[in-house]
């Protein structure tokens, strides 16, 4: 997916092609702050949950997926901490490709993970000066496919 928002770019798609399309393109911008990330997962990844504050100070929670699995303990980000790596493992469930495992790692080495690892691994790392700011993908009751929306840490006009 091509994004025309300054200071925002989308990484490669990780996962399968089932579920319904979703995008956070209208919610993300350069210079935003990520407060926390959370997951719902057990055997597979049921949902990703990202809480952000935009440059106007408005807080939004970006929730994609279903309400199954177990809600993890959220990873709250400290000042100067940014999510810079997303790793996703794809696997099949009832004949459909899904995100079976996902891990998000910060520039300080903290991480949150959930699901079941597979041998079909995809990873995406933010460019210098960028952070995870949102998602594009496909979901239903679970997370089927996900791409990171990377946003510039500094505001871009």
Please name the residue that has the structure tokens 């496909």: 138
Instruction: Decide: residue 24, CB within 10 A, 0-12 exposed, 13-18 middle, 19+ buried.
Output: buried
157 assigned to some structural domain:
no
1 assigned to some structural domain:
no
68 assigned to some structural domain:
yes
Q: List the CATH number of the domain containing 16.
A: 2.100.10.30
State which residues form the domain around 31: 8-152
The predicted-structure confidence for 5-21, as pLDDT tens digits, reads as follows 889 999 999 998 899 99
Full-model pTM: 0.95
The predicted-structure confidence for 35-53, as pLDDT tens digits, reads as follows 999 999 999 999 999 999 9
């Amino acid at each position: 997916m091509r994004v025309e928002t300054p200071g925002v770019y989308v990484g490669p798609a990780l996962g399968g092609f089932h579920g319904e399309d979703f995008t956070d393109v209208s919610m993300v911008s350069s210079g935003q702050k990520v407060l926390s990330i959370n997951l719902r997962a057990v055997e597979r990844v049921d949902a990703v949950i990202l809480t952000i504050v935009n440059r106007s100070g408005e807080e939004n929670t970006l929730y994609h997926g279903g309400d199954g699995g177990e809600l993890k303990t959220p990873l709250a980000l400290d000042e100067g901490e940014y999510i810079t790596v997303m790793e996703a493992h794809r696997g099949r469930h009832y004949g459909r490709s899904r995100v079976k495992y996902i891990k998000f790692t910060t520039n300080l080495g903290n991480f949150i993970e959930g699901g079941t690892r597979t041998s079909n691994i995809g990873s995406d790392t933010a460019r210098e000066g960028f952070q995870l700011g949102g998602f594009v993908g496909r979901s239903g009751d679970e997370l089927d496919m996900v791409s990171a929306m990377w946003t510039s840490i500094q505001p871009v006009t």
